[in-house]
Amino acid sequence: MMSQLRRTLSKSLFCLSLLLMLLANLGAYAQTSSASLGPGAPGSDALPFLTELLARYTHASSYHFEYIEEHQFDSEFSRNWSKAFITSIVGPANHYRFERRGDFGTAVQVSDGQTEWIYYSPLNQYVQQPAPRVGPSEVTSRAAMGLGRLRQTQSHMKNFAYVRSMVRTATFVPEQTIEVDGKSMSCIVVTTEGEMPDAPSRIAIRFTFWVDKRTKLIRKSTQRSEGALTAEPGAHYTGLDERLYQAAEIDVSDFPEGTFSFAPPSSAILVKEFEEKQTQELAKLIGKLAPTLTLKASGGKEVTLQSLAGKPVLLDFWATWCVPCRESLPALEELYEENKAKGLVLLSLDEDDDNPQKATDFWTTRKEPWPNFHAGKDILDKFPRHGIPYFVLLDGSGKVTFSQAGLDENGLRTAIAGLTSSPTSQSPTTH
């Protein structure tokens, strides 16, 4: 009886201590959140400052950001640089404006709370539809891949909470003055050390933030990352992302007139869904016999498509400089392992015209269980113009059953299953 009473008392005291700790933490947070953000001495701990700063962003109900974003990526096999001008604005009652101008053209998504407009300049098309109850709506059209970049813009504020999960330490460095839109701005500067959480291999992350001393908002940031490439065992990469904010406001109550309206260009076409001419041309190949091809490997070995009659054949057009191509290889490996016993033949064709030997070296390093051939102009001219990766699937009679740029893993798996489960796919057909 006494032991039971002691256990009950112990539990009660434990719960009471937890409650007191919670109340103390809430009181400390209330004091901290109401205090003015201020810098510390150079070299001192900046983690409390950064935590409070990021909390202001994650708790904001409305915001207005306009910034220039530069991205740089380097690895043993590729180098990439891009620049974009981005607008990210959210107001009350499902009002928003997301805009990105960069290497994929201009993509815009706007809502006035009642109507949503989505515009994509490379196609000169736009969609006008009722605004979703909770927006923005997701664009899934493969014809407008550049619109997918808007998702990064739309998750801009959520990323600040994710940033905090990556940061392990933060330190104040001497204050700096930066130029923003032609004006000098005195900034508190914080540098951090951390790593990507839940990554299959260690990816080191280093942030630097320049915080306007007057508004206590970030006006410039850099993110440096370094780690292993999952698609290329043994290969490492370095990345640098820089953002310079021309406009930065949170908890905004007043927006410029016209922010949440959209007037499409006079030449733009209103469509129900985005359609790309190139995608249509690739689809026209379906149902037709594949062109006659003679493929030559680097060692001199030749293979013709006609010699593979009776077997389903998947052609994978790629290049070493194409990041999505290399990232698709693990999925292709899985598809091939699932279907090689069922007769599937997989052939990769590189489009490294400037340096075919680079593709050969890459393939030797990868040690893929299927061969690679170089696709010169004589081969590419027999297919419609296409982006890469580009996949063409042939049935046993040599007819095209799948023709699509970009990896649609589920669609490709379904198409392959339709051939490998068909008895006719194993029977040679004379034509």
Structure confidence by residue, pLDDT tens digits, 304-357: 988 998 999 999 999 988 888 888 999 999 999 999 999 999 999 999 887 888
pTM given for the model: 0.62
**Separation between Cα atoms, residue 428 and residue 431, nearest integer Å:** 10
Structure confidence by residue, pLDDT tens digits, 60-79: 999 999 999 999 998 877 78
Structure confidence by residue, pLDDT tens digits, 131-151: 998 889 987 666 666 788 888
Residue 388: the pLDDT is 87
What phi and psi values does residue 204 have, to the nearest 5 degrees?
Answer: -80, 135
State both tokens at 103.
């290497």
- Could you give the residue ranges of the DSSP H alpha helices within 167-276? none
pLDDT at 57 over 90: yes
Interior CA angle at 230 toward 234 and 148, to 5°? 145
Q: Residue 354: is it exposed, middle or buried by C-beta count within 10 angstroms (0-12/13-18/19+)?
A: exposed
What is the Cα 384 distance to its own chain's centre?
27
Structure confidence by residue, pLDDT tens digits, 21-33: 333 333 333 333 4
pLDDT at 231 over 80: no
Across the range 195-205, mean pLDDT stands at 84
State both tokens at 38.
């201020």
Q: Which long-range contacts (CB under 8 A, 24 or more apart) does 75-79 make?
A: 75/229, 75/232, 75/235, 75/236, 75/237, 75/238, 76/232, 76/235, 76/236, 77/232, 77/235, 77/320, 77/321, 77/326, 77/358, 77/362, 78/320, 78/321, 78/323, 78/326
- Report yes or no: 192 and 208 within 8 Å, Cβ to Cβ: yes
What phi and psi values does residue 145 have, to the nearest 5 degrees?
Answer: -60, -30
DSSP letter string over 169-198?
Answer: EEEEEEEEEEEETTEEEEEEEEEEEEE-TT
Widest CA span in the chain:
93
- Report yes or no: 419 and 342 within 8 Å, Cβ to Cβ: no
Residue 29: the pLDDT is 37
What is the Cα 223 distance to its own chain's centre?
16
Residue 233: the pLDDT is 63
CA neighbor of 359 nearest in space, from 302, 303, 318: 318
CA neighbor of 205 nearest in space, from 152, 159, 148: 159
Across the range 222-228, mean pLDDT stands at 92
- Could you give the residue ranges of the DSSP H alpha helices within 84-230? 150-154, 156-166
Which comes out higher in pLDDT, residue 240 or 13? 240
- Report yes or no: 154 and 136 within 8 Å, Cβ to Cβ: yes
Residue 430: the pLDDT is 33
**Separation between Cα atoms, residue 87 and residue 64, nearest integer Å:** 8
Residue 12: the pLDDT is 44
**Separation between Cα atoms, residue 364 and residue 314, nearest integer Å:** 20
